[in-house]
Amino acid sequence: AQSVTQPDIHITVSEGASLELRCNYSYGATPYLFWYVQSPGQGLQLLLKYFSGDTLVQGIKGFEAEFKRSQSSFNLRKPSVHWSDAAEYFCAVGARRGSTLGRLYFGRGTQLTVWP
């Protein structure tokens, strides 16, 4: 069965500290992996994605993620967190369906709080 696990419901870091958000997935087919960010009252914004190739992918806002097939993980990292990064972060997995992208399976999210 397809599923995404984000083991940390809430993470608090100080501004300027490094950040790592964990994501583990279970997916039968070749996974397409995504990280989204959601601010209060807003929709989901794509931070980065992995389809194939280099397992370290760079995204917007200084975020990066590393795909580790052996661990079924796709952890999100940022070397120095800014106060504006406070939001909820969702990991998602999906696959191509014909000529388009099929349904995404989302984790339950990790709420990030940034202390000044």
Partner 1 sequence: EAGVAQSPRYKIIEKRQSVAFWCNPISGHATLYWYQQILGQGPKLLIQFQNNGVVDDSQLPKDRFSAERLKGVDSTLKIQPAKLEDSAVYLCASSHGRQNPGPGIYEQYFGPGTRLTVT
User: What residue ranges bind partner 1 (CB under 8 A)?
Assistant: 4, 32, 34, 36, 41-46, 49, 51, 90, 92, 96-104, 106-109
Q: Of 59 and 78, which has the nearer Cβ to partner 1? A: 59
Nearest alpha-carbon partner for 78 in 55, 61, 54: 61
Q: Of 16 and 61, which has the nearer Cβ to partner 1? A: 61
Q: How far apart are CA 7 and CA 78, in angstroms?
A: 18
Q: Of 79 and 102, which has the nearer Cβ to partner 1? A: 102
Please check whether residue 84 is in contact with residue 60, taking contact to mean a CB–CB distance below 8 angstroms.
no
